Amino acid sequence: MPLDPVFWYGLAFKIGLTASIVVCASVVVERSGPFLGALIASLPTAGGAALIILALQHPPAFIAAGMVGSLIANAACAVFALTYAALAQNRSLPVSLGGAFAVWLAAVLLSRMVQWSAEAAALLNAAIYPVTIFLTRRYRIAGAVKRVRLVGRDLLWRAAVVTLCVLIVTGVSASIGSYFSGAFAFFPVAMGSFFVILHPRIGGKAAASVAAYVQAPLVGLGLGLLAVHYLAVPLGVWWAYLIGLSIGVAWNAGLWLARSVMASRSRARAP
C-alpha cells in the first residue's frame, strides 16, 4: 500500500471530484422532465472526471489517442440507450439495463478488431446516431413525468459506484492502453445509475424516455471528443478539454433553444 501522502491526496481528489459531479447532475436529472434530464445526462460526468484524472497521469498524446476509443464508446452509448429504451417498455430493470450494458460492452470489445482513426470513428458516429434517433422516436414522452424523491442512500451508492468505475479505469490505464482507457472512461455507468433509480419509481416507459431523448445531445458530446483529439497536443490538454466541453454545452443549449422556439410557435398557432 503506498505511503506517499501525494497518493492519498490524489485518491481523495478522484473520489471527491467524481462524487460531486455525479451527485449534482443526478439531482438535476431527476427533478426535470425527460428532455431536460437527457440534456444533463448527456454531459460528461463520470467520463469527464476520468479524463481529468487521465490527464494528470499521461501526456497529451495519450489523451489525444484515447479520444478515438472515446468516440467509439460514444457511438456504443447510442446503441446502449436504444437497447434500454426498447427493453424497458415491458421488461424489468435487471433485464433492460443488463441487456443494454451487454450490448455496449460487446460493441466496444468487438470494435478493437478494427484499426480506427479519429475520422473513421467520427463517421461511425455520423452513421449510427441518425438511425438511433429515428428508432427511439416512439419512446419519447413529452412534458414532465412524476418527480422522484431522492434519499441520501441514492446519492451515496451512486457516487460510490461511479467513483469505483473511474478509479478502475484510471488505475489500469497504463496497462490497457490509450484506446480502451478512452473507451472505458465513457462506460455508461452514470447514465445507467439514473435508470436504476428512475425505472422502479416512475416506470420503465418514463425512464426509457430519458434514454430516447439522450440520443441527440450525445451528438454534441461526440463533437467535443473529436475536438479534444485534434487540440490536446497543439493547445494542451486543459484547453482542449475546455473547448470540448464548451462544444457539448453549446450543442445542448442549441437543442434546448430550438425546442423552446418550436414550443412557442405551437402555442402561438393554438386557438
Domain boundaries, the chain: 5-144+153-269
13 has pLDDT over 70 = no
Residue 1 has what pLDDT? 42
Nearest-angstrom CA–CA distance, 217 and 40: 9
Q: What is the pTM of this model?
A: 0.83
Q: Between 60-87 and 237-269, two packed helices, what is the crossing angle to 10 degrees?
A: 30
Residue 96 has what pLDDT? 92
Residue 33 has what pLDDT? 65
Whole-number Cα distances in Å, 28 to 21, 36, 81, 141, 154: 11, 9, 19, 18, 14
Place of cell 471527491: 16
Percent of the chain with pLDDT over 70: 73
237 has pLDDT over 60 = yes
172 has pLDDT over 60 = yes
Q: In which element (H, E) is residue 107 found?
A: helix 93-111
Query: pLDDT tens-digit profile of 58-71?
Result: 899 999 999 999 99
Predicted confidence band of residue 271 (pLDDT cuts 50, 70, 90)? low
Q: Residues 6 or more apart from 127 whose CB is under 8 A from it? A: none
151 has pLDDT over 80 = no
109-112 contacts at long range (C-beta below 8 A, 24 or more positions apart): 111/72, 111/76, 111/183, 112/179, 112/180
Q: What is the DSSP letter of 43?
A: S
Using DSSP, state whether 195 is helix, strand or coil.
helix
Whole-number Cα distances in Å, 193 to 61, 114, 168, 187, 239: 32, 30, 17, 12, 30
Q: Residues 6 or more apart from 211 whose CB is under 8 A from it? A: 38, 81, 82, 84, 85, 88, 136, 139, 191, 195
Nearest-angstrom CA–CA distance, 73 and 153: 29
- Which of these, 246, 226, 197, 245, lies nearest to 49 by C-alpha position? 245
Q: Of 6-15, 42-51, 101-110, which range is least confident?
A: 6-15
